[in-house]
Structure 1
């Protein structure tokens, strides 16, 4: 066996010490391309890195359930890119949204009834495309975490083309510089409203979820989301991932929102937490799901059941990455 291995080593046409191919951490651009290849969504978000324990939808799951087992391999480049004398200062992770302790929570069953009533009265129609503002935490093992805020608008045309505009902006602090990306995908300080990319894509006629039209019946919507998730049965975490994937591709109408709320209610894995004001200043009802080390909070319109936002926070410290309990790992806010 030893002789065979030695022959194989000598047959290797690429020397191990070749600088361009030597083993080492991915740079940020490489990490983003890896994220896109692994997780099949329309585009990777700059600070969203493929982490253990995720699904294989737009990104398996964007968040880490097994963070300590290798969460920052693909983002160690952040420390190098932001560590020089002219680098932008690190931006601390935002604090989680506060739920009103004196508010009476609304059950998901009750919210589903409201959503179904609103859908029966008409309401907005389903539209392909999305408008989402997000805050994502980038981490490395030798620099403080940084938060990258951005706004993404995707619009489709009748001929199957779509445009995607991505802007670095933080609506909580209008006019202030934020951490964005340069043309090579590297993080740097930019002015509020800096255009990261403005792209027009050729026609696409995919008939597979999440690109095909989502149904507005709860049972059919479950099957649709399971196909998008490449699974036969979704637990609550996977259902939240699937909802995230759906909302990153479609702006739901009243009927689709009602079906999604009913599906979430039937899952039984979300706890009503009370009233909350989201990061865009909108009033909502919060529903919480917790797993080891991570809490996810879904924020929904109290009258129509439309999903307003999804927040994921650490509930356990990760001192090796400068993360404290309550730091926000990721937050998405969807608008029409």
Structure 2
């Protein structure tokens, strides 16, 4: 029975080794996880914990000689919505995905802050009273503002939600809390991660010198040209070349680490406008209640990335991953939202 936490999921293959060995590795992985009574993990610690777990799984599998060749994300039948920690990783341990998913979902659902799980949000609703703005128009407006004051900043302020999914066809999707976090980094790689509830900072985590370089996938400042940004994203995921879906996927990962300035925003919108597979959905209100324009790209008729832009400035307001067909194993129906991120400043 494998659990897949959609926005940080792993692809697992069955283990053919004795159950006792799997149990021993399972116990070893669990020892690495803080007890349920520990303070709720900040998003930054949350990501680093999973990376640590996944690396331990890889190290164990390598030692036993069971690692299989890695696949590119596009080779997987149903892609991860957020694959930066485990991009292209194919694991041989059947228990690994269950451990990581249970760990991550467990902190999200039962954190000591007392937050309760929430129902899945409804799909974005197109507001017919407002006009659809072509992506090319939004990109031109962003380009006109590219010289405005404001540089890209390390770290983000975002609100996020994700669904815990099981791939055994027996469990209903697990609804997890909406969380809000803010993290900022200094030039030396130090910083602070904050958990926010009802507009108040409820938990702070100091991040020592060098933390940025150790945790970020996109360490260098994002480029300010369309061509430069395309190359920048392709270094992390070559599948962005010629794919609207994987371009949005990579931008979602980037926006978990950087808050773009006006020049980067213009490059992002210009790159999106060049994607033939990205189509206008129409005017919507995002998960923070802001007016925006939604554009979407599909992956093999299974899932859809939607990106929401401020039609006046081109700023990215949010990204959403949703199902576009019935999936009995995942207990999903068309339109089911699997995750979203709202970028707040």
Q: TM-score, normalised by structure 1?
A: 0.69
Mapped pair 1:334 → 2:334 = no
How many residue pairs get aligned? The number is: 279
The residue aligned with 1:21 is: 24
- Higher helix fraction: Structure 1 or Structure 2? 2
Of 189, 195, 202, the residue aligned with 1:166 is 195
Give the Cα separation in 1 of the matches to 2:227 and 2:138: 18
Instruction: Sort the Cα spacing of 1:325 and 1:19 in 2 relative to 1 into closer, same or farther, 3 A.
Output: closer
Any residues of structure 2 matched to 1:96-135 within 5 Å, and which? 96-120=123-147, 122-135=148-161
CA contact (8 A) 1:114 1:304 kept: yes
Mapped pair 1:212 → 2:220 = yes
Q: 5+ residue gaps in structure 2?
A: 1-16, 35-45, 56-72, 89-95
Of 231, 235, 248, the residue aligned with 1:227 is 235
Give the Cα separation in 2 of the matches to 1:128 and 1:37: 22
CA drift at 1:109: 1.1
Instruction: Sort the Cα spacing of 1:294 and 1:287 in 2 relative to 1 into closer, same or farther, 3 A.
Output: same
Instruction: Sort the Cα spacing of 1:126 and 1:313 in 2 relative to 1 into closer, same or farther, 3 A.
Output: same
Give the Cα separation in 2 of the matches to 1:296 and 1:266: 16
Rg larger for: 1
The residue aligned with 1:199 is: 206
CA contact (8 A) 1:138 1:148 kept: no
Mapped pair 1:136 → 2:162 = yes
CA contact (8 A) 2:121 2:337 kept: yes
The residue aligned with 2:274 is: 266
Q: TM-score, normalised by structure 2?
A: 0.67
Give the Cα separation in 1 of the matches to 2:122 and 2:49: 29
CA contact (8 A) 1:145 1:322 kept: no
CA contact (8 A) 2:116 2:176 kept: no
Instruction: Sort the Cα spacing of 1:324 and 1:88 in 2 relative to 1 into closer, same or farther, 3 A.
Output: farther
Give the Cα separation in 2 of the matches to 1:132 and 1:249: 10
Of 120, 137, 146, the residue aligned with 1:93 is 120
Any residues of structure 2 matched to 1:171-190 within 5 Å, and which? none
Of 179, 182, 201, the residue aligned with 1:150 is 179
Instruction: Give the secondary structure class of the aligned counterpart of 1:112.
Output: helix
Give the Cα separation in 2 of the matches to 1:204 and 1:90: 30
Please tell me the root mean square deviation across aligned C-alpha atoms, in Å: 4.0
Mapped pair 1:297 → 2:306 = yes
